Amino acid sequence: MGPEVFVDILRDAAFLVILLVSAVIVPSLCVGLVVAVFQAATSINEQTLSFLPRLIVTLLSLTIGGHWLVQKLMDYTIRLISSIPNVVS
């Protein structure tokens, strides 16, 4: 057991965090970009026009992809717990 085991665990955890966060944030960023272009084209500077569509898309992405997000997290947790005997010995 060397430090590379812990580096692999940390790398997998960081990749999982990036994957789970990007599944929620990327759709919101795309909608925010579309709304920003619309606001720039029409000179409408209303803050709620920018906030509400991003909030709705974020909630929809959590609702639609929630099962997948939890499944990925559970798979990682099960894999991590099952690898404890290999790391300890």
Kind and range of the H or E element at 89? none
pLDDT at residue 1, rounded to an integer? 67
Give the structural domain span for 74.
Answer: 3-88
Q: Could you give the CA distance from residue 27 to residue 61 in angstroms, rounded to a whole number?
A: 7
In terms of Cα–Cα distance, which of 26, 23, 33, 30 is closest to 63? 23
- One digit per residue, the tens of pLDDT, for the chain of length 89 reads 677 888 888 999 999 999 999 999 999 999 999 998 998 898 888 877 888 999 999 999 999 999 999 999 999 999 999 988 888 87
- When divided into structural domains, the chain yields a total of 1
Which residues neighbour 65 within 8 Å (Cβ) at sequence distance 6 or greater? 23, 24
Contact criterion met (CB below 8 Å) for 4 and 19: no
